[in-house]
Structure 1
Amino acid sequence: MKKKGLGRGLGSLLKEEEFTIDETLLNVDINKLRARTDQPRKNFDDDSLRELAESIKVDGIIQPIVVRKVDDIYEIIAGERRFRASKLANISKVPVVIKNVNDRKARELALVENIQREDLNPIEEAISMKTLMDEYQLTQQELSEIVGKSRSYIANNLRLLTLSDYIKEFLISGDLSPSQGRTLLSLSSEEERKKYLDKLLAKEVNIRDVEKKAKSKKNEKSDIFITDVCEKLTEVLDAKVKIVSKKKGGKIEIDYLNEDDLQRIVDSLMNIYDLEE
């Protein structure tokens, strides 16, 4: 039996000594293993599992499955894919590393292990990130330091969770890329997002086309708003009003005929905002 710390990662969340873990390496009956019900990963590609099963038949399991002992069962913390492939390969015993941790620690380890995997789909990864942030009240920067991914990467992935379940399914299946999913978020309505989702899937448009559409819609809304404000101010002040938009902010121009007309406009403005003494 040996002691092994987790180093960076979750060791930075709690006191370092709380993350010193007893480990034991054994070969155990595969029927005594079970997956966690709160495992963040939900989707396992059948073809990929069959390929791994064939590899296991030839070379065995190279990397042990990480488990913890719960009564007479070994609960999987990390390595459910290897466990599933081993069952397909009809392997009777599998190598496991037993970690002596409680339920909370097991969940923490499973979440971090999932985030650091490369074969998770974007939604599974984002859910793992959000769960860890919520449970530990972490900022995106703190999570970045724990899991070794940039803050912008984490922020971009979390944005995908705001997409509708319908669009998320295409991210989960791999038909839609994360960058395409984020681009759809720039469109304001679900109807438009579904419309351009179909176009992206059919390769009728690309990300740049969707961005241009979103920008034109934004400009169109801005133009309508500015025109409406100009008309209202012109009516209230009985003077020509012009709004000049700039990259940042803008200015309002009000025409007046003479000093008396200027005073009239000032009085009108004061009355509007109830500033007259």
Structure 2
Amino acid sequence: MASRVAGKIKLQSVDELLGVPEIAGTQEIEIGRIHAFPNHPFKVLDDEKMDTLVDSIRENGILNPVIVRPDNSGDYEMISGHRRLHAAGIAGLKKVPAIVKEMSDDEATIIMVDANVQREEILPSERAFSLKMKMDAMRRQGARIDVDGTCCTECDKSGKKTASIVGDQVGLKARQVHKYIRLTELVPEILEFIDQKKITITMGVDLSYLNEQIQKWVYEYYKDNGFLKPVQVEALKNYPNLSNATQQSVISIMNDALPKKSVSAKITFSEKKLDKYFPSHFSSKDRENIIIQLLEKWSDEQGQTI
């Protein structure tokens, strides 16, 4: 359960979630015996922060043990500590300190999400898939029979909707939780654009309702043109029978949605043409003044003949 401090959400630590002391009960486990959590939604990147973590581990070792659970083959599944494990391997460690705890698949999923979602920086794609995984696990745990005999997989035993519970724990409204989960329906290429802040989350939610092929065409359009406007996404969203559209018609819909540029009348004269009527020593400004004077004279004459 999350607690609120000074108006902010404060999640429990992994140790609090597991109900174990910080160091007690740790074991030294060979890195090769620990495998990643299935469909782990949090990215482990070899970036500057990873370099800093590697340097810290080389100098101080791993200060906080990773959290694992035993698997059926006698090895271990990572619950919390994927980045530390990766950094330890780069640093040349053969073993890492670990807390081993038995837990069900759903318990492991919830703890894995809660442990990683506490990071200061989290990508929209990471938040989307982690919220979905946690909600699915909580629904399986909290399924109950309502008084009318129907099964309620959207509520916990108190009747509160799962999205609201998950949202309370991470500082989001239920509708925001649902929006993030919609992002899991996007093709990976568009989801990557959202992580890179090339496309907004709101645009991503709207695109998530389009079928996979349409989404791929939208991605190709962005890649070819370098932009995607909200008005274009809105046009696709509202277009009837879009699922039967061709790639060319999708492109036409998107192009037609763009504001039309006003076409201003513009006439140009080549220097060669003007040389026929002006002395060579006339500057561009001199030529412009004479042309304007002649046009004014012509306009006056036209007015007299009307």
TM-score by structure 1 length? 0.56
1:31 corresponds to 2:51: no
What is the distance in 2 between the residues matched to 1:191 and 1:102? 37
SS in 1 for 2:200: helix
| Larger CA Rg, structure 1 vs 2 | 2
Q: CA deviation at 1:44?
A: 1.8
Q: CA deviation at 1:58?
A: 2.0
Please say if residues 25 and 95 of structure 1, whose CA atoms lie closer than 8 Å, have aligned partners that are also in contact: no
Paired residue type of 2:222: L
SS in 2 for 1:68: strand
Residues 150, 35 of structure 1: CA spacing in aligned structure 2 closer, same or farther, 3 A cutoff? farther
1:92 to 91, 94, 106: 94
1:59 corresponds to 2:60: yes
Residues 73, 169 of structure 1: CA spacing in aligned structure 2 closer, same or farther, 3 A cutoff? same
- Match for residue 43 of structure 2? 43
Unpaired runs of 5+ in structure 1? 1-6, 10-18, 223-277
Paired residue type of 1:198: K
Q: CA deviation at 1:154?
A: 1.6
TM-score by structure 2 length? 0.51
Q: CA deviation at 1:69?
A: 3.9
What is the distance in 1 between the residues matched to 2:237 and 2:43? 40
Residues 39, 194 of structure 1: CA spacing in aligned structure 2 closer, same or farther, 3 A cutoff? closer
Please say if residues 184 and 197 of structure 1, whose CA atoms lie closer than 8 Å, have aligned partners that are also in contact: no
Please say if residues 128 and 181 of structure 2, whose CA atoms lie closer than 8 Å, have aligned partners that are also in contact: yes
Unpaired runs of 5+ in structure 2? 4-16, 140-152, 155-161, 241-306
Residues 164, 142 of structure 1: CA spacing in aligned structure 2 closer, same or farther, 3 A cutoff? same
SS in 2 for 1:46: coil
What is the distance in 2 between the residues matched to 1:97 and 1:156? 35
- Match for residue 161 of structure 1? 184
1:107 corresponds to 2:126: no
Matches within 5 A, 1:1-277: 7-8=1-2, 21=19, 24-31=24-31, 33-41=33-41, 43-47=43-47, 48-70=49-71, 72-135=74-137, 136=139, 137-138=153-154, 139-171=162-194, 174-176=195-197, 180-186=200-206, 190=215, 193-194=218-219, 197-198=222-223, 202=226, 210-214=229-233, 217=235
Residues 104, 180 of structure 1: CA spacing in aligned structure 2 closer, same or farther, 3 A cutoff? closer
* Residues 10-36 of structure 1: CA deviation (Å, up to 9, x unaligned): xxxxxxxxx874554425033364124
User: Which structure shows the bigger proportion of residues in strand conformation?
Assistant: 1
What is the distance in 2 between the residues matched to 1:52 and 1:32? 20
Q: CA deviation at 1:114?
A: 3.4
How many residue pairs end up in the alignment?
197
Identity across matched positions, percent: 23
Residues 25, 55 of structure 1: CA spacing in aligned structure 2 closer, same or farther, 3 A cutoff? same
